[in-house]
Amino acid sequence: MKLDAKIPEGRIQDKWNNYKFNMKLVGPANKRKYEIIIVGSGLAGASAAASLGELGYNVKVITFHDSPRRAHSIAAQGGINAAKNYQNDGDSVYRLFYDTIKGGDFRAREANVYRLAEVSNNIIDQCVAQGVPFAREYGGLLDNRSFGGALVSRTFYAKGQTGQQLLLGAYSAMNRQIALGKVKVFNRREMLDLVVVDGAAKGVICRNLLTGEIEKYSAHAVILATGGYANVFFLSTNAMNCNATAIWRAHKKGAAFANPCYTQIHPTCLPVHGENQSKLTLMSESLRNDGRIWVSKIKGDMRDPNDIPEEERDYYLERKYPTYGNLAPRDISSRAAKEAFDDGRGAKGQEAVYLDFKDAINRLGENVIRERYGNLFEMYETITGENPYKTPMKIYPAPHYTMGGLWVDYNLMSTIPGLFVAGEANFSDHGANRLGASALMQGLADGYFVLPYTIGNYLAGDKPTYVKTDHEEFNKAAKEIEDMTNKLLSIKGKRTVDDIHKQLGRLMWNKVGMARNEKGLKEVINEIKELREEFWKNVNVVGDAKDVNQCLERAGRVADFLELGELMAVDALHRNESCGGHFREEYQTEEGEAKRDDENFAYVAAWEYKSVGDWELNKEPLVYENIQLATRSYK
């Protein structure tokens, strides 16, 4: 497999503008001749559909939701980054670029990250024009707040529902194109395979989730915007329907999977409260602007937090990282919380630490805190029964975002020509750790400002042919899906899909979670293989194929997680260093910080699928010309 990142020549400040100028263009009349499939209707998918439809392409959007508005992008709470420097606090495109590279522990591609920072300002202008109700200061100017890993306030927000408001903006723009006939949305369809003809992506195979019918869709190019794979852990902040099937099936058709072990553990989630829990609830990182994180200095302290005097509290982030304090990046903050719990100082003995707003309420008044975070506080009280205005919140780290994904070049095209990947589904911008408020930025950057150029360049340059759905490759792929469906339904074993998924999740959390080591990774690779064999021998998928069957839907997704989980462990085992969210216990400094090995591991690990349990490693070297590699420090 050849990895050509197609990074343009020239100064980093000029790469994207020069690249756009030299791209091949599709004439307005010719755009009407091209069909594009977009799988996924979140921020990346909806913004790409709106932009490409407006340009004149014929766009098909495939979503497993009953409405594109239900895409998981709505769950993002805290905000979206942009280098507007409205606060006049020293921000710039270069600083956003640097913070993102540093936040990712120097494991991201410079050119892509600079482009992301460069177009970030356009995103805010676009969203304001759409009517997205960003928070504003008294004078009417857009407000900003801070997020982890930055010393400037660059995060634009709409209370604690930023993702939802941004998606409504993209959705309204897409609806306009639907009304004009340029975009067609196919609801309640799940992509189950990619169709590749003569080495290029030509369409997808879907299951109609209402009728069970296998459907074929063809196009000149395919965009996957299907989100991340954190549900491999079973318990995560992702909605239960979030899955890796679309990107995994594309991977098995030839798309390299990059850095699968780079998973983000979010430090600010509600603790696990029971064995029957189906997902974890996120408390926005924005709360760390005004909330202070602490535990008791006394091991096994079971007192009520309000009874613990100030001198007996350990504000451990402020102590360990005085420059950034409670706004230390997510990976560092999560590991610090785990250290406090492992030291026997969890909140009331639980896997939890305190997030306390007492000082902020005393300083600013309860009304200001209510205005900034009111819906988050209401959500917390609804779930826990405790009033966070009076009692500190209890929080603990949980699986959240995945920085790994399908490998893409500068054009966001995978190793399969014609297959583009956007948003969280690709690997490109966040390195080994994503800074808060950068996911929404990447999804909209890809959809609004990158893909409209790069897809046109592909269509004008490669001039891909249109393959009809009666082609033998479509029929072959559809037959493989029907065979897999029948196999799942025929096993009639004794274990439920969720039971096996929970077991996989525990294996992943314990041995491929916040901390990994060689012994545990070698063990878990074999344990996942055994669990996969157990799944195919003993799973019980009830119902039939020609009807609504959520058990069948979940079974297919878990089958993919059982393969992806092994690759995550294989990738974590081969990377003998610690960086960002990948923390190998053998590779840490005396102070317990991640210890990189730039000499041997400054590369993207892009895995090529050979067969189940067998991958070949390909390396894309990471060359830093504009930023000097340095030990990552937030002290």
Give catalytic status of residue 330 as yes or no. Answer: yes
- What CA–CA distance (Å, rounded) separates 338 from 578? 16
Cβ-Cβ contacts under 8 Å for 181 (sequence gap 6 or more): none
- What CA–CA distance (Å, rounded) separates 240 from 481? 22
Taking Cα atoms as reference points, which of 365, 366, 437 lies closest to residue 157? 437
Residues in the chain: 635
- What CA–CA distance (Å, rounded) separates 37 from 183? 10
- What CA–CA distance (Å, rounded) separates 230 from 279? 11
Instruction: Kindly give the pairing relationship between strand 313-314 and strand 292-296.
Output: antiparallel
Given a contact cutoff of 8 angstroms between Cβ atoms, the answer to whether 622 and 603 are in contact is yes
Angle between helices 43-55 and 162-179 (to 10 degrees): 30
**Which residues are paired to 184 by β-bridges?**
60
Q: Count other Cβ atoms within 10 Å, centred on residue 81.
A: 29
For residue 27, the SS3 value is: coil
- What CA–CA distance (Å, rounded) separates 437 from 445? 13
Given a contact cutoff of 8 angstroms between Cβ atoms, the answer to whether 533 and 491 are in contact is no
CA 454 centroid distance within chain: 22
- 292, 330, 372, 596: the catalytic one is 330
- What CA–CA distance (Å, rounded) separates 72 from 290? 26
Q: What is the DSSP letter of 594?
A: B
- What CA–CA distance (Å, rounded) separates 445 from 451? 9
Q: What is the DSSP letter of 449?
A: I
For residue 579, the SS3 value is: strand
Cβ-Cβ contacts under 8 Å for 28 (sequence gap 6 or more): 56
Sheet of strand 200-208: strand arrangement: 189-197, 200-208, 214-218
Extract the tokens encoding 35. 């069909």
Catalytic amino acids? 330
